[in-house]
Amino acid sequence: MSDAPATSDGHVTVGTTDTASTAPAGRINRSEVAHLARLARLAVTDDELDLFAEQLDVILGAVASVSDVAAADIPPTSHAVPMTNVYRADEVQPCLPREDVLAGAPDVEDHKFRVPRILAEEA
């Protein structure tokens, strides 16, 4: 939402393009949703502003609850279980003989694939 400090009454002032609005700390209001919609160039109705404000408030509350649980002594993780590299080692292996590879080509020129031109020459 905003990194602005909360006022003594627990509100945060959030600047918008036209006016500043206040909302209880940790909550999002209609004017902030309208501002976000303008930034995203979304056309939203008044009913959608109310609905989105409620939905975003629930989402922000869930994110805040995760932040409350996170402790300094628990390292951040990206996966619940340890991951190991499941790929084989990158080792040089013999490849197919050139004649076998080119045998399946529709056209060959100078031991290379010959393909139709798809881009015009630039002058």
Structural domain contains residue 20: yes
Structural domain contains residue 44: yes
Specify the number of domains making up the chain: 1
Structural domain contains residue 48: yes
The three-point CA angle 40-42-45 to 5° equals 140
Structural domain contains residue 106: no
Q: Is the model more confident about 106 or about 21?
A: 106
d(CA 107, CA 114): 5
**3-state secondary structure at position 10:** coil
Task: Note down the domain range covering 54.
Answer: 11-69
Direct distance between the N- and C-terminal alpha carbons of the chain, in angstroms, rounded to an integer? 53
Structural domain contains residue 41: yes
Query: Looking at this protein, which amino acid is placed at residue 117?
Result: R
d(CA 25, CA 54): 15
Structural domain contains residue 54: yes
Query: Which tens digit of pLDDT belongs to each residue from 35-76?
Result: 999 999 999 999 999 999 999 999 988 888 877 776 777 777
